[in-house]
Structure 1
């Protein structure tokens, strides 16, 4: 993500707005969790690209490695999947 934003800046891109997040976390054990969200990125824009018109589902698996929580898998669904 950081590199994508740097590349956009270097090519004259402009990022405005921000996504609306409302994640829910299910702790499965002391070392794993699942996060689900309905991501609304309708006001988040990169240059002239329009954002998606409908919220999309996001699912993430997390594992705790003893020091920090890390994303083990991530799925960002198509718009309209919430």
Structure 2
């Protein structure tokens, strides 16, 4: 999978960013979200049971972001062009 643009739902609105696959020694499927302003990052992986888990990320962190990001990975939303 190639990198793609997506959003996460923050407390003050949408957080725009890029998701890309990354390599990790302990997991086969790992993805990292980095916000466009680089103030937020979240790395998630699919564990051996098939559940998506948070590996690392910035704080504060909303627990719902793992589910939201995994949905964008498994069911990508149509491409979006972010306004700068």
Q: Could you state the TM-score of these two structures normalised by the residue count of structure 1? A: 0.36
Q: Greater strand share, 1 or 2?
A: 1
Q: Could you state the TM-score of these two structures normalised by the residue count of structure 2? A: 0.36
Structure having the higher Rg: 1
